[in-house]
Amino acid sequence: MELNAALKLLIALAIGAAIGLEREIHQKKDHHKNRSGALIGVRTFALTTLLGAIAGLLNHDQFVFSSILSGTFLILTTINYAISSYISRDTGITTELAAIISFIIGFLISINMLPIPLVLSIAVVLMLILAYKDQVKDMVEELHVRELKALLSYAIIAVVILPFLPNTSITINSIPSISNFFWSNHIDLTIWGNIELINPFKTWLIVAIITGVDLVGYILEKMFGKGRGLIISSLIGGFVSSTATTQALAVQSKEGATISSVLTAAFLATFASFFSLFIVILPINPQFTITILPTLAILIASFGIAAVIFLPKNHKNTKTKILHPQTNTIFSIKPALLFATLFISIKIISSVALIIYGSQGFLITAAIAGFSGLDAITINIADLSKNAISLRTAILAFIMVNTVNLLAKTFFITIQGKREFAIKFGVMSCTIVALSCAGMWFV
């Protein structure tokens, strides 16, 4: 829908006011004024985006005047920064950059270069970056050389290597030496020859996703995890590895932690793990991800409610500590490669079971694989649901895998923790699994 000029100006004004409100609140909270001594807040940013919108409206018919207006704004902003930084000896440029971006946002709204929702998303991202500036700054200050190297390594994995890998399936038939060997020994490859052994791009994509999830978990822990209490610590632990977090909680239950606190932490960790799972499977098969959303929504809501039910009244002062699986490095390539190897193995085995025993064989194989974790087999299900199995079978397989995985967690708690913890976690998990079956109605 085409917006008229007045509406564009109003949208730009509202966005600028929102950005300015964040700046003003942030500066008042820190008792910190900008270098000229006046707060740069709602009025300044509202006028900035409004000016950008006016320049955008004039861009088509009055290009020269629009260019002069934009150039003058940039020059005045630069002069203001130079003078104020010289006076205060503060070379920070965050507010000035935010003002320039706000001007550009107003300009983009008027010229229709980008869809309005995308421009609004840019504004929201800008506000988030400004709001969490201190946390990001603290995280950067604590960044070690080995962590910087890890970040560069991830950039190599996701940006340098991944785009150049072939997105083709390698089967037995596509490898001449192996296929010739089977044919020479009178082994019929009609059925088995087309089983996918590996897809270089898809496999490396999984490596990039898994290491990326670790990266996000590390950043969250750096920003919010230290000393932030039971709730945030549990969510971060579950985002990285709910199984490892649950096992750590089981040990703590025997060491004196209250049952209500470890139950809350365990349910929150499982709650967070489904968000991590969503991020992992979305690039693999968006259609499957959309189909499984009702099931995931039921699981997320149910585990969230379970966490609230057992939440201790004094949870802010609880002594329960969540031992996160990763504390020293951002990510490690070795676990991701092992995960990819596990994924390939599970996929080959489940493909063979699908050919020999049909859907029932696949479901049984998938359920057994659930003991090893939820992510690898769910990625495999998402991949096979493209052409090998129906979406209904895929959702049923996921429910079975999740059931087995939760039973495995209950077993670990029984072995390593208190019996009361295991019983309550197991009973609640079984109830939630039964509720998640309602997700089949949406397929």
Greater confidence, 201 or 315?
Answer: 201
Q: How confident is the model at residue 3 (pLDDT cuts 50, 70, 90)?
A: low
Greater confidence, 285 or 323?
Answer: 285
Tell me what pLDDT residue 396 has. Answer: 93
Tell me what pLDDT residue 220 has. Answer: 65
Q: Give 239: exposed, middle or buried? Use CB within 10 Å, 0-12, 13-18, 19+.
A: buried
Tell me what pLDDT residue 191 has. Answer: 62
Residues 6+ apart with CB under 8 A from 102: 15, 16, 19, 45, 48, 49, 52, 126
Q: Which of 182-191, 198-207, 299-308 is modeled with the greatest confidence?
A: 299-308
Tell me what pLDDT residue 34 has. Answer: 46
Which ranges constitute the DSSP H helices of 259-390? Answer: 259-281, 286-310, 333-369, 375-384
Q: How confident is the model at residue 324 (pLDDT cuts 50, 70, 90)?
A: very low
The most distant pair of C-alpha atoms in the chain lies apart, rounded to whole Å, by 87
Lowest mean pLDDT among 3-7, 145-149, 159-163, 245-249: 145-149
Lowest mean pLDDT among 84-88, 260-264, 269-273, 289-293: 84-88
Tell me what pLDDT residue 135 has. Answer: 63
pLDDT tens, residue by residue, 338-379: 778 888 888 888 888 887 888 888 888 888 888 877 888 898
Phi-psi label, residue 178: left if phi above 0, alpha if psi -120 to 50, beta otherwise: alpha
Tell me what pLDDT residue 227 has. Answer: 46
Q: How confident is the model at residue 327 (pLDDT cuts 50, 70, 90)?
A: very low
pLDDT tens, residue by residue, 418-438: 899 999 999 999 999 999 999
Q: How confident is the model at residue 288 (pLDDT cuts 50, 70, 90)?
A: very high
Average pLDDT, the chain: 79
**CA atoms of 40 and 52, how far apart (whole Å):** 17
CB-CB contact of 99 with 80 (8 Å): no
Q: Which of 57-61, 238-242, 314-318 is modeled with the greatest confidence?
A: 57-61
Residue 395 parent element (H or E) = helix 391-416
**CA atoms of 59 and 49, how far apart (whole Å):** 15
pLDDT tens, residue by residue, 106-139: 898 888 877 777 788 788 878 877 776 666 666 5
Q: Model pTM?
A: 0.61
CB-CB contact of 439 with 300 (8 Å): no
Mean pLDDT, rounded, for 151-167: 80
pLDDT tens, residue by residue, 376-400: 889 889 988 888 888 999 999 999 9
Tell me what pLDDT residue 322 has. Answer: 52
Helices 42-58 and 63-88, packing angle to 10 deg: 150
Phi, psi for 171 (deg, rounded to 5): -115, 175
Tell me what pLDDT residue 36 has. Answer: 46
Residue 35 has pLDDT above 90, yes or no: no
